[in-house]
A = this chain, B = another copy of it.
Amino acid sequence: MTPKKPRSEKSIVDIAKALGISPATVSRALNNSSRISEATRRRVKEMAKEMGYRHNSMASSLRNRRSNIIGLIVPRISMYFHVFFITALQRRLQIAGYNLMICQSNDSVSVERELANSLYSARVDALVVSLTLYTEDVSHFDGFLAQGIPLVFYDRVPTMPTPAFIVKGDDYRGGMLAGNHLLVAGCRRIAYVSGPLSCSIYQERTRGFVDALATRSVSLPEHWVCHHELTAENARRSLRLLFGGNEKPDGLFAANDTTAIAAVEFAREHGIRVPEELKIIGYSNDPRTSIITPSITSIEQFPSEMADKVADTLISALKHSPDAPGTIAGRPVICPVDLVRRTTT
């Protein structure tokens, strides 16, 4: 249960011995220090290669107090938005010389808490987090702030003020765009399926959407509003409810695309014509929305651009000496969104 490896790996001490010089010199040579002669640098590098030396970043990290690892906690990598975000972020960080340690909370607060601890133990140089649907208390990240370790929340961010960095989509605007679009398209009996309000993005999408309807004095009846985890199964259940009464909605805002897709399928099964009888708009511009028939109008969030913002934030925070705990705050970065019109509206 505690297996160890045999000591067959070569260290800089071995190289030093083989060459009859000091380990310090070897270290300097391998790190391309300026204070070393070209000749020894070459000698060392050759010998290193010959002996099969491999840099040990654990030792180096311990000594340097920096791991070159950045932690990422994401609710689920199966979400289109996060996949694109991660890919873009990883590319940027790789270039900057960092490795990304990607973890999934699976929307479980307790897993998120464990991951935070584990990544702290690993002494990541920075942490990037998109919260679970239910995270309200973010105190499990306090240790990072206390130590001045850059902490960036993106997308699903804390609903309470925090001294951490924040990069988020303009969910208020997204909700408002969706609402206006349905109104302009002529909808007056509008239903809304949203995620739980414990989560920042759904709070804001809801606010924006409600405000949009209010400007035209369209009401959003309580029995036409659902808040729950936005899975396909939940969507089907809610749709049955929403369309079970006498009066049917003529417009639906689904706060994610999985739900919008379920709605299109539901309409198909129940002979509801889309967009004639029912207009549907989703959120995130998941590639699936353009594959399904009819294709679904959605809100684009530009995940790669968001990743660029996060990368910029990280890199500048990491460059500036992170010595002074508490000084890492900043005003939230709000990223634009856009409506992509397709055939469901």
Chain A interface (Cβ within 8 Å of chain B)? 1-6, 8-9, 52, 54-59, 61-62, 64-67, 69, 76-78, 83-84, 86-87, 90-91, 94, 99-104, 106, 111, 118, 120-123, 143, 146-149, 261, 265, 287-288, 291-293, 318-323, 325
Give 23 A-B contacts (CB < 8 Å), ordered by A residue: A1-B319, A2-B66, A3-B66, A3-B322, A4-B64, A4-B65, A4-B66, A5-B65, A5-B66, A5-B148, A6-B323, A8-B147, A56-B62, A56-B123, A57-B121, A58-B61, A58-B122, A77-B83, A77-B86, A78-B83, A83-B83, A91-B106, A288-B288
How distant is the Cα of A59 from the Cα of B104 in the complex, in angstroms? 25
A59 CB, nearest partner CB in chain B, Å: 5
How distant is the Cα of A99 from the Cα of B8 in the complex, in angstroms? 25
Contact residue among B6, B77, B321 (Cβ-Cβ distance under 8 Å from A87): B77
Which residues on the B side are within 8 Å of A86 (C-beta)? Answer: 77
Closest-by-CB residue of B relative to A79 is B83
Decide: B103 and A99 in contact? CB cutoff 8 A. Answer: yes
Which residues on the B side are within 8 Å of A322 (C-beta)? Answer: 3, 5
Closest-by-CB residue of B relative to A83 is B78
Contact residue among B3, B76, B143 (Cβ-Cβ distance under 8 Å from A321): B3
Chain multiplicity (copies): 2
Which residues on the B side are within 8 Å of A9 (C-beta)? Answer: 147
Which residues on the B side are within 8 Å of A143 (C-beta)? Answer: 52, 54
How distant is the Cα of A76 from the Cα of B91 in the complex, in angstroms? 12
Decide: A3 and B122 in contact? CB cutoff 8 A. Answer: no
Decide: A54 and B120 in contact? CB cutoff 8 A. Answer: yes
Decide: A59 and B62 in contact? CB cutoff 8 A. Answer: yes
Q: A9-B147, A58-B58, A90-B104 are in contact. List 10 more A-B contacts (CB 8 A).
A: A4-B64, A5-B66, A5-B322, A54-B121, A78-B84, A99-B101, A99-B103, A291-B291, A292-B293, A293-B293
Decide: A121 and B67 in contact? CB cutoff 8 A. Answer: no
Which residues on the B side are within 8 Å of A1 (C-beta)? Answer: 319
A124 CB, nearest partner CB in chain B, Å: 10
Contact residue among B77, B123, B291 (Cβ-Cβ distance under 8 Å from A77): B77
A114 CB, nearest partner CB in chain B, Å: 8
How distant is the Cα of A103 from the Cα of B148 in the complex, in angstroms? 26
